[in-house]
Amino acid sequence: MGLFVALGVAAFVMLAMKVANAGISGNGETYTLQAKFDNIGSLKTRAPIKVGGVVIGRVDGIQIHPEEFVPVVSMSIDKTYECQFSDTTSVSILTSGILGEQYLGISPVIASDSAKQSCLGNEVVNQDEMDLDDLFGVESKALKNGDLITDTKSALVLEELIGQFLFNQGSE
């Protein structure tokens, strides 16, 4: 009898650990990105970070920038995605359903091969093929540990939208 109880407790602990790391690779290795927002709404620590509906990480922390006084969100993202996204990638605060939880949605721009190699510390060899960076005359970088995503879209706060609607209706 005691053996079954011990096995049940062990299974419960393993399940709890698996749920806690949901969306992060089996080895749990992550890298950190940061993003500044004007308004984070009710975004919370441990909120999921999704790409196309697939969880690839979690919100690690939320602080106020000491000089700009705007929220800065720290994100822990699965290590398999390090150096995969370009610095032109954008992050939005989205809501599941009408009144659901808020999460971060990444609209990825895939980094060029040369940007990935440079990010990983490999020597970049000249390519005969032109990529988009060459075509537009810009040099994008791949996002790595500690980088800041600059293209952000803040949360839509339902109360603010209703207030604006009522204010606009009242002025007509």
Name the average pLDDT for the chain: 81
* Tens digit of each residue's pLDDT (9 = 90 or more) over 47-80: 999 999 999 999 999 999 999 999 999 999 999 9
Which of 102 and 12 is assigned the larger pLDDT?
102
pLDDT band at 134 (very low <50, low <70, confident <90, very high): low
Q: Of all helices (H) and strands (E), which one includes residue 18?
A: helix 2-20
| 95/79 Cα distance (integer angstroms) | 25
* Tens digit of each residue's pLDDT (9 = 90 or more) over 149-171: 989 998 877 777 788 788 777 66
Judged against a pLDDT cut of 50, whether residue 19 lies above it is answered with yes
pLDDT band at 142 (very low <50, low <70, confident <90, very high): confident
- How many CB atoms are located within 10 Å of the residue 6 CB? 10
Judged against a pLDDT cut of 50, whether residue 33 lies above it is answered with yes
Nearest to 106 by CA among 89, 119, 118: 89
